[in-house]
A = this chain, B = another copy of it.
Amino acid sequence: MTMHYAPPLRDFAFVLDEVLQAPQVLRALPAHAEIDGDLMMQVLEEAGRFAADVVAPLNGIGDREGCRFKNGTVTTPPGFERAYAQFCAGGWPALACAPEHGGQGLPHVLDCALYEMLSAANHGWTMYPGLLHGAYACLAAHGSAALQARYLDKIASGEWLATMCLTEAQAGSDLGQLRTRAVPQDDGSYRLSGDKIFISGGEHDLTPNIVHLVLARLPDAPAGSKGLSLFLAPRVLDDGSRNGVHCTGIEHKMGIHGSATCSLHFEQAQAWLVGEAGRGLAAMFVMMNAARLHVGAQGLGLAEAAYQRASAYARERRQSRAPGSSGNDLIVHHPAVQKLLMEQRCRIEGARLLTCWAGLLLDLAEHDPEAALRSRHHERLEFITPVIKAFLTDQGFQCASRALQVFGGHGYVVETGIEQFMRDARITMIYEGTNEIQAIDFLMRKVLGDEGRRLDDFLGLVRADIAEASGLGEQARLLGEAVDKLRIFASRIAAAAAQAPALPYYVADEMLRLCGHVALGWMWLRAGRRALSAMAQDPLWYGGKRDAACYHFAFVFAEVQQLSSVIEACLATGLPPLPTDLDHHAAQEAS
């Protein structure tokens, strides 16, 4: 059985070229006037080769050996440093960075695809460069000219890696409780003091310097999240001396053992303000949003990698007689295994379409010549970001678990190599804002926050494709029903919230997942229609795609019924009462 990761290049070509028509979309932007499909595929082929040949072989050893912490230093697993050097030598960190900062200026959508493949190949390793683009975007948007001059090139080249220092022991989802202090100095810099936890890549041996982006509080800052400012504190100062940032330990985790999750102690660390004082959260959110899209791509990548192994195993393992057969069949011919595999395939290929669509939005939001359109693309991206983060990581974990199931008892054995994907995938549902936080962000801010304007814009795109009368009529009808439900629920929730302000919070998760199914269904409708129209070119390949589209609507999409039923019940009869020990008001009255 081949256990190597095979970059899904054929599917990328289908997604980018045939369904999303990325080359045409990009060529309309002056910044990407020279992009064509061949160039995009060449980049992806090379990226895939790097992921498969350099990074994937280190996935098992990264899990087994993990990172080591000793006297404040972190040693990454064998091979990680060399692979990272090759990554930089290949120019991969700079892929989508601007040419004026040493970047290649290629579209973001290729960066999304690159990170899907890297995460599939080795999630732990990919955590290190994973924050580069976010840090780059954050500094490019909010850093002073002096900071940009000192740091942007180093980040774009990957010479220095970056971190995002948010969490403290008492402040996880609630950043308003951060305590790290920043004291202004006469030279215009600041001194940071405090303790951060769960800092990915907070310390390591891959680069000589690490650029920490740190949320902290100025002396006169108000309490809560409005008092937060963003600072840049490098591990090593310009004069080569060590800054006051020290790693005090690394976590033992369920998975991503290759990634160093550090506790950092800041003690009078020299730092510089990024953006305006008191606007740290807004500046950090540039980084956070990029990170959330990446996390969605991680969910997808891990699911793809696990699926490839399960699919290969199902094609070589023989057990029992399949229905209608007489012999000892490959398990891929057993309906139960086929369902496990198809459930994965549908979710994965739908997710790839969705992340690439979001990647294109990033390019459009940055480079569309019309400011009004840039802003619209940006809003679309903001709308879909929590859906991509939460829905795709939930799926990624479930897909990895299904892939494990295909192996039966062998799947539970470490050496088989499949259980690592499930352990690694589990963190994606938590970090960069838990999936519960994503659901609240989605419903409260992105849907109810502007009275459904962004939702209407998104559903308008979906409806336009539903209205196109070209095949898959039943699937289009199902999708249309879900679109209508989602829209009506949004209005009814807004109305009900006037009387019961807590109600939206109890259906936020269902609303996000409903939107996730609409988004995936939309993508499968487009993919299925493209398959129908191209059938003659390659009946086997496009036939498989059409069949997967049909399977998606018959099996996967049915969750829409469950979600609708829950939301409908809550709207029709109000929330069911909660046991008193969970009840907030009862607790308040008692206290």
Contact = CB atoms under 8 A, between A and B. Distances in A.
A430 B414 contact: no
Contact of A342 (B255, B555, B578): B578
A541 to B, nearest CB: 9
Contacts of A397: 401
Given A253-B414, A336-B508, A502 B324 contact: yes
Query: How often does this chain occur in the complex, in copies?
Result: 2
Interface stretch (A1-9, A281-289, A405-413): A405-413
Interface stretch (A68-76, A127-135, A562-570): A562-570
Contact of A254 (B423, B543, B553): B423
Contact of A562 (B174, B322, B544, B561): B561
B198 A409 contact: yes
Nearest to A429: B405
A580 interface: yes
A290 to B, nearest CB: 20
Interface in A539-585: 540, 543-544, 547-548, 550-551, 553-555, 558-566, 569-570, 573, 575-582, 584-585
A226 interface: no
Contacts of A419: 254, 426
Given A439-B336, A544-B581, A584-B324, A174 B252 contact: no
Given A319-B172, A325-B584, A544 B430 contact: no
Nearest to A585: B324
A434 B408 contact: yes
A56 interface: no
A501 interface: yes
A431 interface: yes
Interface in A294-341: 319-320, 322-325, 328-330, 332-341
Interface string A503-532: 001101100000000000000000000000
A151 to B, nearest CB: 27
A401 B426 contact: yes
A547 B579 contact: yes
Given A544-B580, A584-B333, A412 B253 contact: yes
Contacts of A555: 566, 576
B565 A561 contact: yes
A177 interface: yes
Contacts of A459: none
B401 A430 contact: no
A544 B581 CA distance: 8
Interface string A250-270: 011111000000000000000
A415 interface: yes
B509 A339 contact: yes
A193 interface: no
A430 B340 CA distance: 14
A194 interface: no
Contact of A427 (B322, B412, B501): B412
Nearest to A546: B577
A335 B506 contact: yes
Contact of A584 (B172, B322, B564, B577): B322
Nearest to A173: B319
Nearest to A569: B554
Contacts of A171: 319
A448 interface: no
B422 A409 contact: no
A583 B578 CA distance: 48
A582 to B, nearest CB: 5
Contacts of A366: none
Given A341-B582, A431-B409, A325 B554 contact: no
Contact of A558 (B329, B410, B565): B565
Contact of A173 (B254, B320, B561): B320
* Residue among A329, A413, A474 having the largest count of chain B Cβ atoms under 10 Å: A413
A582 B501 contact: no
Given A328-B174, A582-B338, A333 B587 contact: yes
B550 A576 contact: yes
A408 B172 contact: yes
A361 interface: no
Given A439-B336, A551-B576, A252 B413 contact: yes
A50 B401 CA distance: 33
25 contacts: A173-B320, A173-B408, A198-B409, A251-B413, A252-B413, A253-B412, A254-B412, A254-B413, A322-B584, A323-B584, A324-B502, A329-B584, A335-B502, A335-B506, A336-B437, A342-B578, A342-B579, A419-B426, A474-B573, A547-B580, A550-B576, A554-B566, A554-B570, A554-B573, A558-B563
Given A172-B408, A409-B430, A561-B565, 9 more contacts: A173-B319, A177-B328, A325-B588, A335-B502, A397-B401, A411-B430, A547-B580, A554-B569, A558-B565
